Each structure stands twice: as structure tokens, then as C-alpha cells.
């Protein structure tokens, strides 16, 4: 990989990489693929009519990983990338994505990533997506991920969605359709500060008997930032669904949680939990008695909350 120091820093932040990873990977920098490798069981193919890649994972593939991070270090780049994942029956893989933008210029930089997952019968996938922004330019750092998940019978998908810091505007849209016995687990963690805005929209359709979804979002809104979370689970069969919003509000931050549960089957069991509040005073006092300043105590609490 021919990457500069800033790009290497971004890659470390979003994918914990300082060298090409083992296994299959496609690393994208400033709207170009700079490194790509397939394996015997994972084939990465560039799309012919759009920007992006198709990733084919053979049935019965076990213990392999796929890395597809994106880094942007030039001001003014705006791109939409389409990546499709075809995960074969009985496979068990990890996919690491994410995008980091360093913008030191006057123009906005924006990456919109559209990811579609087709998860085969009895397959298991763990997906990690981290977003990070840096740079002192006036241009914004904008990230708009779209995630579509289509799950066959008895499949399992675990998704970790993380916005670390520095992203000015983001709209995260996630939809999922689950067949019988499929289970989707999502853990979202995000931090906003200054005047940043973050919107998360989830719509999960539980279409088969014994399908299940567990969607949990944790957020911290600082300064004058704003977060909005729309969580909707639709139960169309004898299924189980759980959503949870747990948020900390600080300074002049604002958070809006909009839960929605739709039961279309008498045996659909759907639950939502929500809590929004400030850091408890007793938590601060306890840490400050151990020698931490108030700001240090706040950071400890926030780090623990988002871990």
C-alpha cells in the first residue's frame, strides 16, 4: 500500500491496521482502490457499472476475515460506493469495514457507502463498521452509510456500528429482512460534539417463525450536537424483537428517540426500552474522590458507557 501518514492514521483508527491484513481485503483511498487481495474462499470482484465491489464467500468457509476500509484525506471528495456481500451457507466469517475522513480544506468531503448482505442458510457473520473524522479545515466530514441485510433460515448476523468522533453529519439507514430462525444483533455506539448531527434509522422485519432481533444503541451528545434515533421492529410471525436506546446528554446537546413496534402476528413478542439523562452526580463524586478532576471523571464515565 502506498499511503501517506494521515491515511495510515485513519486506517489505524477505523480498522486497527498498520499493514495489509491477513485474508481478503480491499482498501480504498481517495476514491481509488489502492490494495486488493482475494483468497481461495473469498473472492473480491470490482463492479462493472458502479463504484464498488462484490464479495463472494464460499459455503462452509470458517474463520476467515474480510477488510474493506475507506480513507479520505483530500478535501472536496464526494463519492457513493456500492458493496455487496454474498455469504454462502454454513460460512462463519468476520467483515471489517469503516471510513475515516481527514479534511483540512475548505470543501466538504463525503462518503456514502451502500452495503448489502445476503446471508445464506446457517451462516454466521460478524460485521464491524467504524467511522472517524479529523482535520481542522472548514469543510465538513460527512458519512451516510446504508446497510441492507437479507437473512436466510437459521442464519446469524452480529453488527457493531461505531462513530468514534469528528463526524459532522451522518445519516445511518439500516434495514433487515429475516426468515425463520434467523437472528440479528446490532450494537450501535456514537459520540457527537460541537454542532454535529447524527441520525440513525432502523427497520427490521421479522418474517419467519423463531426469527429474532436485538438492537441496542448507546449515544453521548455533547456541546450543541443533536442525535435522533428511529428504531422500528415489525413482527410478521412468531418472533422476538428487542430495541433499546440508552443515551447521555451533556451541555446543550439534544437527543430524540422514536421507538416503533409493529406486531402483525399474535405470537410476536416485541419490547422497547429507552433512557436518556445526564451523568449522575454520585458517579462524578466517587471518581473525583479517587483523585480525578471533574473533566477526567466525565471522560472515564463516557468511555465506560461507550465501551
Closest by CA to 74, choosing from 104, 48, 41, 118, is 104
DSSP state of 23: S
In the prediction, which pLDDT does 285 show? Answer: 81
User: pLDDT tens, position by position, for the chain (307 residues)?
Assistant: 668 899 999 999 999 998 889 899 999 999 999 999 999 999 999 999 999 999 999 999 999 999 999 999 999 999 999 999 999 999 999 999 999 999 999 999 999 999 999 999 999 999 999 999 999 899 999 999 999 999 999 999 999 999 978 999 999 999 999 999 999 999 999 999 999 999 999 999 999 999 999 999 999 999 999 999 999 999 999 999 999 999 999 999 999 999 999 999 999 999 999 999 988 778 788 778 878 888 888 888 888 888 7
Burial of 24 (0-12, 13-18, 19+ CB in 10 A): buried
At 181 the three-state DSSP class reads coil
For residues 110 and 86, what is the distance between their CA atoms, to the nearest angstrom? 26
Cα–Cα dist 299/24, whole Å: 36
Quick: pLDDT tens for 232-288. 999 999 999 999 999 999 999 999 999 999 999 999 999 999 999 988 778 788 778
Q: Domain extents for the chain?
A: 5-280
Three-state SS at 80: strand
pLDDT of residue 2: 67
| CB of 154 closer than 8 Å to CB of 121 | yes
User: Which of these, 205, 153, 197, 206, lies nearest to 172 by C-alpha position?
Assistant: 197
In angstroms, what is the C-alpha Rg of the chain?
20
The DSSP call for residue 40 is S
Cα separation of 95 and 218, whole Å? 22
Asked if 154 and 120 count as a contact pair (C-beta separation under 8 A), the reply is no
Q: Are 56 and 45 in contact (CB under 8 A)?
A: yes
pLDDT at 119: 98
The whole-angstrom separation of Cα 293 and Cα 71 is 35
What is the pLDDT, as a whole number, of residue 287? Answer: 77
Take residue 55 and report the three cell numbers written for it: 464479495
Instruction: Give the pLDDT of residue 1.
Output: 61
Q: Are 65 and 93 in contact (CB under 8 A)?
A: yes
Copy the grid coordinates of residue 121: 442458510
- CA angle in degrees (0–180, nearest 5) for 139-140-142: 145
pLDDT (0 to 100) of residue 3:
80
Bridge partner list, 32: 29
Phi, psi (degrees; rounded to nearest 5) at 44? -110, 120
Tell me how far apart the alpha carbons of residues 66 and 21 are, in angstroms, rounded to a whole number. 9
Helices marked H in the chain: 5-15, 281-288, 294-306
Averaged confidence pLDDT in the chain: 94
Amino acid at each position: 500500500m502506498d499511503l501517506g501518514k494521515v491515511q495510515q492514521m485513519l486506517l489505524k483508527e477505523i480498522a486497527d491496521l498498520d499493514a495489509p491484513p491477513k485474508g481478503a481485503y480491499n482498501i480504498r483511498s481517495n476514491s481509488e482502490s489502492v490494495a486488493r487481495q482475494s483468497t481461495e474462499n473469498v473472492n473480491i470482484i470490482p463492479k462493472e457499472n458502479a463504484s464498488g465491489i462484490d464479495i463472494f464467500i464460499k459455503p462452509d468457509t470458517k474463520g476467515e476475515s474480510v477488510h474493506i476500509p475507506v480513507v479520505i484525506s483530500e478535501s472536496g471528495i464526494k463519492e457513493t460506493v456500492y458493496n455487496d456481500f454474498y455469504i454462502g451457507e454454513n460460512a462463519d466469517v468476520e467483515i471489517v469495514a469503516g471510513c475515516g475522513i481527514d479534511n483540512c480544506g475548505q470543501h466538504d468531503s463525503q462518503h456514502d457507502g451502500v452495503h448489502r448482505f445476503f446471508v445464506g442458510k446457517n451462516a454466521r457473520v460478524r460485521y464491524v463498521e467504524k467511522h472517524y473524522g479529523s482535520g481542522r479545515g472548514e469543510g465538513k466530514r460527512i458519512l451516510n452509510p446504508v446497510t441492507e441485510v437479507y437473512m436466510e433460515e437459521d442464519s446469524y448476523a452480529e453488527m457493531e456500528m461505531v462513530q468514534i468522533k469528528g463526524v459532522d453529519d451522518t445519516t445511518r439507514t439500516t434495514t433487515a429482512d429475516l426468515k425463520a430462525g434467523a437472528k440479528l444483533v446490532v450494537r450501535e455506539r456514537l459520540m457527537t460534539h460541537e454542532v454535529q448531527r447524527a441520525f440513525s434509522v432502523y427497520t427490521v422485519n421479522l418474517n419467519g417463525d423463531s426469527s429474532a432481533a436485538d438492537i441496542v444503541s448507546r449515544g453521548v451528545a455533547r456541546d450543541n450536537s443533536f442525535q435522533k434515533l428511529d428504531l422500528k421492529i415489525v413482527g410478521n410471525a412468531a418472533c422476538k424483537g428487542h430495541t433499546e436506546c440508552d443515551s447521555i446528554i451533556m451541555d446543550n446537546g439534544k437527543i430524540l428517540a422514536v421507538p416503533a413496534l409493529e406486531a402483525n402476528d399474535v405470537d410476536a413478542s416485541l419490547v422497547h426500552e429507552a433512557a436518556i439523562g445526564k451523568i449522575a452526580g454520585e458517579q462524578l463524586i466517587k471518581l473525583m474522590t479517587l483523585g480525578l478532576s471533574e473533566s477526567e471523571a466525565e471522560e472515564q464515565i463516557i468511555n465506560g458507557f461507550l465501551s
